[in-house]
A and B are shown apart, each in its own frame.
Chain A
């Protein structure tokens, strides 16, 4: 059974700082990994999706990496802004099973002006 862990559970940083969010998963037989952000009381917004054959994806100030063999992914946020404050979720889709997506509980990020 796939398990997804996100560390830290919460993070508070001053504006402008670069930061890294971590995601680990127990079963390396994955199809892809997706990073989302969730604002309070809202749905999820897709940030980046990395296929199992890829090592990283970039979008603006965001960079996500994937090391499938070690069961890890990181989300790097450059030059953080108060608008980045949200909960960031990692989701892993397993190969071999249709649409079996396992989510982490998330990292709650607060960027202080």
Chain B
């Protein structure tokens, strides 16, 4: 069966520090991968999606970037965190477009 892992589960970072969140999927090949952010009182916002290695599309201009160095690995990064980057970050995968998306347990990011 397929599983998705995200880490860390929680993270507290000072403003201006770098960020690296990692997501890996097991049990499937060439999945579509997604990064979302969930802010308090707001719906999930799609940040990035990827249909293959090295193929990243950005939905919203951000202080963030994403990379997919391997087929089942998706990384969310920032060079300098802002206070507004606080939130709950979720990684998801799907077999292909239009199929159900399956989510990881998320990373709670707090910026001080």
Which residues of A come within 8 Å of B, CB atoms? 4, 31-32, 34, 36, 41-46, 49, 51, 89, 91, 93, 98-106
Contacts and interface: CB of A to CB of B under 8 A. Distances in A.
5 contacts: A31-B98, A36-B103, A41-B106, A45-B103, A99-B49
B98 A4 contact: no
B47 to A, nearest CB: 12
Query: Size class of B's contact patch?
Result: 20 to 34
Contact of A89 (B44, B104, B106): B44
A75 to B, nearest CB: 15
A24 B97 CA distance: 22
Contacts of A102: 43
Nearest to B32: A99
B43 A93 contact: no
A104 B57 CA distance: 22
Interface in B60-112: 90, 92, 97-106, 108
